[in-house]
Amino acid sequence: MAFRRVWQFKEVVFDYSSNNSSTFQLYTDLPGGAMAARKGAGVTMASTSDGRKTLPIPLDGIEGTLYRPEIIPGATTVLRLYGGTIWVRPVGVYLDGSLSEKWTTQEMALGV
């Protein structure tokens, strides 16, 4: 059996500075088993003309066993990424029916 732990993504927080806007996108493998963008057209990270900024981005409802965060700066953008945190929590295991996976227990005695 090929059990894979599934993670539920809660939030990503970036500490950055930028002279122009950038776009954040998160790719995961669920649903569907192939890496795909999960934030629609992406989330705009606004310019921080007054210095560093902390930007929390909610990721509620996004799950996966693999993930890839991506930040795409604009053509004339200078982006300084000082740090980032992705908050996740485990939600169990994922069984893929197309791979004929199944979950069974060991034999159990009914008791006498």
Assess whether pLDDT exceeds 70 at residue 112: no
Domain of 79 in residue numbering reads as 4-96
Q: Is residue 101 part of a domain?
A: no
How are beta strands 36-37 and 53-64 bridged, if at all?
unpaired
Instruction: Determine the length of the chain.
Output: 112
Assess whether pLDDT exceeds 70 at residue 99: yes
Q: Which amino acid type is present at position 73?
A: P
* Global pTM value: 0.78
Distance CA 99, CA 1 (A): 9
What is the count of structural domains for the chain? 1
With cut-offs at 50, 70 and 90, classify the pLDDT of residue 1.
Answer: very low
Give per-residue pLDDT as tens, 7-34: 999 999 999 999 999 999 999 998 888 9
CATH number at residue 61: 2.60.120.260
* Tokens at 98, concatenated: 């197309």
Q: Are 68 and 30 contacting, i.e. CB atoms less than 8 angstroms apart? A: no
HSE-CB for 3 with a 13 A CA cutoff: 7
Q: Is residue 106 part of a domain?
A: no
Which candidate, 29, 83, 28, places its Cα nearest to that of 52? 83
